[in-house]
Structure 1
Amino acid sequence: MIGRPSLLLLTAATAMVSMVTHAVSLAAPASEQEQPTTRLGVAIKKDLATRDQSSVRRNRALDLREQVTRAAETRIKADLLARQKQADASAASKPDGPTAAEGKQYDDLARIYQAMKPAKAALVFEQLDMDVQMKVAQRMRGRSTAMILAAMTPGGAADLSMSLARKTPKVKEPAASPSAPLPTKRRPAS
């Protein structure tokens, strides 16, 4: 009976060979294990690599967009702070707010008088205070101011011209009325 191996011995030998083969396959490098041998395996591996590359590019683009957004936000904040500082500085240097509103009112009056016929505008213009006349005339076009001055009375035109030249107009002395007695000089008693 020695010539025939037992079935148990053959099974054990086969199990040993299987274990050795399994151990060798586990010890082999990963690149050798993952080599696809079929066209389907190659196509799948190629698709996965392409998808991974596009994912990396997308992530890089998102990172760049985020950096650009942060930089823009920083620039906008700096610009806003600069504008606020400029507004604060200009508000501190300017007089009170009503003067800005007055300036707009004078601009509006200048447009109104420019739209009127010079003769009619001169009649109304002479009735205004000298300060108002001067501020409105400064905001008008030169030609319109000249036409209104030409239509004004000579005294009113002269006063306005003097005000525009930053000189004080002559103070008119009231004419002596005939009913008022003239002051006389008294002679000292000798």
Structure 2
Amino acid sequence: MIGKPSLLMMTAAAASFSTLAQGVSIASEVTAPKTRLGSAITQDMGRRDQDAARRARTLDLREKAARATEERIKADLAQREQAESTAAAAPAEAKGASEADQFEELARIYQAMKPAKAAIVFEQLEMDVQMKVAQKMRERSTAMILASMTPKGAAALSMALARRGAPARSLIRPMTGSQSPRSAMR
């Protein structure tokens, strides 16, 4: 009964031996020591991989920094636009208040000066500024400065104040019987 092995059985046995031999040879190559060239190639490839990973991290960090900077710039721009819109909403109120404070300060300065010296400087100002400062001054101080001004300057300021509705009594200095019109203007 045991007879001759068939050709099919012999081919199957040869194929299994061949597969086994192939597996052994692959296993022996993995555990076999590498040559210097093989190790140099492996090290070089490792370095390249590390350098590529480092470059990728650097690029990623740069990209994140650029995004953060862009966001800060956008936030700063939005804040500036909001501040400008807020400032544009009430420029007349702020400007009017600051001008009023400015003219009140000038009025206090001129009232503190001697009238003759204040008149010399006061006449050099523009008429609009003269009017605004004179309106903020006390009546007595305004009268004393007007008296020390040149007749032409005093008349011009008086007319300008009269047009603006300033009280007339603050512009006219009463004369006594012994004073001439010219001495009253000084």
With the shorter chain as reference, the TM-score category is 0.3 to 0.5
TM-score by length of 2: 0.46
TM-score (norm 1): 0.45
